[in-house]
Amino acid sequence: MTTSTQSAARIRLAPTTAAERRVAKALALEPGGPPTLQARIANRVIRTLMKSAWQYGPDSEAGLVRIQRATDVMGRFQAVPRGVAIDQEDLGSCTGEWVRAGAPDPGKVLLYLHGGGYFFGSPRLYRPFNWRLSASTRRAVLALDYRLAPRNTPADALADALNAYDHLLRQGYAAHDIVVGGDSAGGHLTLALLLALKEREQAAPGAAFCLSPWVDLLCQSESHQLNRHSDALIPAGKLSWLGREYCRDKEENDPLFSPLRGDLTGLPPILFIASGSEILRDDTREVAERARAAGVRAVYQEWDGLVHVFPVFADFMPEGKAAFRHIAEFLRAAGA
């Protein structure tokens, strides 16, 4: 891209319609302010419909499968705007979904690892998120449909993520032109992937971002108790039970189960985003602090009073839309 074209790409035309002004106002939001009215309403709806469904379900494989099936049904109704391209990719042990919106740079790519506690979620469910991610970062997004519990384990999901990363390298993408991102369990998987690449002495991606990562599957940080009532999406007791199940018979210092215990030196620039009212707030804070202490270029954003992984709910709250701008700006600043 020439210098004149780059300059033109940065030009933001003044909004002229009411809809454009609303979008511009949303994109301008910064962390630190009170939640918008739309966000407060969304919090209540999510608490009623989603947190309650998990809170009052059984602690068993049958309970996990029930939620998994319900979210699979939700995924069938996820739509994208006209012009967004969706293509499937067979990766061997699992599949992926390419999402291309706007005018993505053909030389750059984003590997996205969805959340869902390692037992639910899919690229189809995340289509409204992934098209925004592609459009804002100007990258094709490969959304990984990694294997899920209860049939599989987080270790299987990590194997799938490593395979997907290798697949991108085989497709001709340079490591520094790859970005890896994820939310919640996918944020945990993002960090586990970075540590696994380091252990394999393999080139790291150009940058990464983690949205409310479930950093410690043992759920030992204080915010799991302090924010158990203010978190609008995750029932703290259920997540703790799930983490104990995943970590059963594992070594306590295994970095797969807690990247906090891993050596973070040498990791690429990482953006961390969390809500001040969610139970994973301290997990995100601590891993960002440990990354900075290890010499990693780490940025931490904390937004007040929002639901867990609020960017996923961008259709319903302005702060979610603003998060995509912050992600894109971070990647540009990181040179990724």
Residues assigned a catalytic role: 184, 278, 308
Q: 279 in the Ramachandran plot: left (φ > 0), alpha (ψ -120 to 50) or beta?
A: alpha
Cβ proximity of 209 and 327 under 8 Å: yes
In the numeric block, the tokens 């915010």 are attached to: 223
**List of E strands, the chain:** 85-90, 95-100, 109-113, 140-145, 178-183, 207-211, 270-275, 298-303
| Residues 154, 158, 161: CA angle, nearest 5 degrees | 135
Q: Name the residue among 239, 182, 193 with its Cα closest to residue 216.
A: 239
Axis-axis angle for helices 37-46, 318-333 (nearest 10): 100
How far, in Å, CA of 221 to CA of 288, rounded?
14
Q: Name the residue among 84, 133, 87 with its Cα closest to residue 111.
A: 133
How far, in Å, CA of 59 to CA of 133, rounded?
34
Q: 32 in the Ramachandran plot: left (φ > 0), alpha (ψ -120 to 50) or beta?
A: left
Sheet order of strands, 140-145 included: 85-90, 95-100, 140-145, 109-113, 178-183, 207-211, 270-275, 298-303
For residue 6, what are its two tokens? 């780059």
How far, in Å, CA of 99 to CA of 242, rounded?
31
How far, in Å, CA of 13 to CA of 281, rounded?
36
Cα separations in angstroms, 135 against 81, 93, 129, 176, 326: 11, 28, 10, 20, 13
How far, in Å, CA of 165 to CA of 109, rounded?
11
